[in-house]
Amino acid sequence: MADSYAGPRARTETVVAIQYLRAVAAGLIAFQHAMGVPAFVHYTAHFGTIGVDLFFVISGFIMWTTTETSRRGPVRFWLARIVRIVPLYWIFTTLYIAAALITPESFYVVHLEAAHIVKSYLFVPATHPNLGLIAPVFTLGWTLNYEMFFYLLFGLCLFVPSPRLRFALLATAFLLLVAGGLLVQPQGAIARTYTDPIMLEFLAGVMLAILTPLLMRCGAIAGLLLIAGAVIWVAVVYGYGFVPERIVSHGIPAVTAVAGGLMIERAARARPSGFWLMLGDASYSIYLAHPFAQRVLLIAANGTIGLAAISPTVYVLSAFVVGIAGGVICHFVIERPLLIAGRRLIGRTQPMR
């Protein structure tokens, strides 16, 4: 969720389609949460949740392409990931906790536990005391628990110099974890998280990175592939009670979308959109900041004309725009300065990926 991309031959060159997809993924999640107000619950559809799966596939893609021919070792890789992910997430986790302590009435349900808070900061999966789900105190961080574990495994594989062997080790680790989870059905939060089939989405992204040269020569079928992914996703959303495993319902359309994006990369690169590239760069900030911006809008609406006086369509669209705008402001005001400071801290001169 927090990555931009440069290919193995030209690492400063952005893959435009991937940036667009990052923007789409963040937008889908922001739109999903714009519909999450209890008063509008009957309007809620769950198609926006695929944004998380898009992020996971893209993350696998980016991590492989930015390290395939690099001499960067595991420690520098991990430091770069920590600088990229941790500070902004900790800021929003702290803001969430502070808001819960200062204005608990602005939350639907709030119950903080010290042990759960500590685990949240350390990216340790734990059961949420309010929801009963495996999630940190700032619930959007559940995805970052997966991301950080992926970075841990990926960094360990960087000890192996051969890309082919590195991929074999990574694939073996992921397949064994998922197979073990299916066989044993673990109950603990950590074991359940890191044996979940959703982990295979990272591996799928790595495989797409390896296949990129081939995919970029298949532009003629990109449209068909993207349409197929959309049809699959619509069939799942409106599946008349049929709810397959997430790796099928979300993972396959996400992989299809990224593959289709790579196929149209040459066309996208011919006339790139600065606006969409900016949204791609800001996607991590959008992901973390949009719930706060949307909550401010909700409080303002309730405190003035009242939510009941607002058309659901108007509110949802307004919350979507406010969420995106809040994330973009966060990107320029908070995230980018943090990244500059982080680069200085770890001695990197290249753009943070």
Instruction: Encode pLDDT of 147-178 as tens digits.
Output: 999 999 999 999 999 999 999 999 999 999 99
CA distance 211 to 233: 23
Close Cβ partners of 280 (under 8 Å, ≥ 6 residues apart): 4, 18, 19, 20, 21, 22, 23
> Is the per-residue pLDDT at 324 higher than 60?
yes
pTM, to two decimals: 0.91
Instruction: Read off the amino acid at residue 198.
Output: I
Candidates 178, 177, 171, 154; CA nearest to 247 is 178
Residue of higher predicted confidence among 58 and 314: 58
Residue 189 has pLDDT above 60, yes or no: yes
Mean pLDDT score, 301-312: 83
Torsion 9-51-254-80 (CA) sign: positive
pLDDT in tens, 90-110: 999 999 999 988 887 766 667
Are 199 and 192 in contact by the 8 Å Cβ rule? The answer is no
pLDDT for the residue 118: 97
pLDDT value at position 238? 61
Mean pLDDT, rounded, of the chain: 87
- Of all residues in the chain, the percent with pLDDT exceeding 90 is 61
pLDDT of residue 234: 66
State the DSSP string of 62-88.
HHHHTTTT----HHHHHHHHHHHHHHH
